[in-house]
Amino acid sequence: MSGLGGLNKSPNGLVIGLVQLQLPVVRTPADLAAQTERIVAMVGKARRSMPTMDLVVFPEYALHGLSMDTSAELMCSLEGPEVAAFKDACAANRIWGCFSIMEKNPGGNPFNSGLIIDDEGELKLYYRKLHPWVPVEPWEPGDLGVPVIEGPKGAKIALIICHDGMFPEMAREAAYRGAEIMLRTAGYTAPIRHSWRFTNQSNAFCNLMVTASVCMCGSDGTFDSMGEAMVCNFDGTVVAHGTSGRPDEIITAEVRPDLVREARANWGVENNIYQLGHRGFVAVQGGASDCPYTYMTDLAAGRYRLPWEGEVKVTDGTGEGFDAPTRRFGERRREAAE
């Protein structure tokens, strides 16, 4: 890593800007439109402040705030005016952008979705959060897997959202599918600061992958988001870290996908993403490629159950004021099906 956060960009460098966006209050469609305009303006700020920037990343909840309001009038769609405005902003400023929307879902609760749009205004990545932050979040669990795209400079990029990053399986899936850079957008508040930091680092190191992560920032009068933009190198070291907690600050870093590829090809010791499927290759040719992990085989077979499963107290959102769900995953709401 070099170049003072992208000010002196190397030929193989990719400059990422992480926006510690001020946490908004969005209660009405007019608020939603105003916040859309604010995000568009920040895309322009990103381009003006760092002409070398390749990708600007906005946090989860950048558009909707932390109200968890699922009102239909506030939900977005890929064809809606909010996404159209983001596409126009990326094209006008010739920059890639990562954005967050709460997405309409006629078959159930809304999805918490992330988008990556290229510098010509084309949607390149579309992801639905696999692991909502239960029991607090009401969002439908995602159903699109963990997509990986070819981003600026040919870098392979994945996107996960907030709580997803607490599951090491998410980062491993992204890396297994080829991601060299994994973005993690979030709305986390201060109590999560410590675990946010070490999971961003461990997700990077365990998969020889750059991680670039950012939260909302500041207060909305009820919640206080922490900013905490972080870029971690593939060896787990922190390249850039937004520790000031200053809303609307854009933390920048230059990352090197070519060095990720080099490490993945040449590391012996601690090449863990490779060694997972080639256990003990010094002793046996090619290593063992079986799956000795019962949690994996049980989950794949639909029989995942913890030894203490019956003792778990919080298994729905009723304690947070949500109705107990009646649908199973994959089923549609009755009114939507009729």
Q: Which residues are catalytic?
A: 60, 129, 162
In 3D space, the residue among 93, 109, 110 whose CA is nearest the CA of residue 53 turns out to be 93
Residues 116, 120, 121, 125, Cα dihedral to 10°: -20
Q: How far apart are the first and last CA of the chain?
A: 56
Rounded to an integer, what distance in angstroms lies between the CA atom of residue 207 and that of residue 297?
Answer: 21
Strands 96-103 and 111-117: antiparallel
Rounded to an integer, what distance in angstroms lies between the CA atom of residue 264 and that of residue 145?
Answer: 23
Rounded to an integer, what distance in angstroms lies between the CA atom of residue 19 and that of residue 225?
Answer: 13
Distance (Å) of CA 323 to CA 131, 257, 312, 327: 19, 45, 19, 12
- Do 127 and 162 touch, CB atoms closer than 8 A? no
Strands (E), 187-264: 210-215, 217-219, 224-226, 230-232, 238-241, 249-255
Hey, what are 85's tokens?
A: 């405005």
Hey, what are 253's tokens?
A: 């870093």
Alpha-carbon dihedral sign for residues 140, 143, 148, 151: negative
Rounded to an integer, what distance in angstroms lies between the CA atom of residue 192 and that of residue 67?
Answer: 18
Alpha-carbon dihedral sign for residues 201, 211, 126, 62: positive
Rounded to an integer, what distance in angstroms lies between the CA atom of residue 240 and that of residue 1?
Answer: 10
Hey, what are 215's tokens?
A: 């939260």
- Do 52 and 7 touch, CB atoms closer than 8 A? yes
* Residue at token pair 């006008």: 92
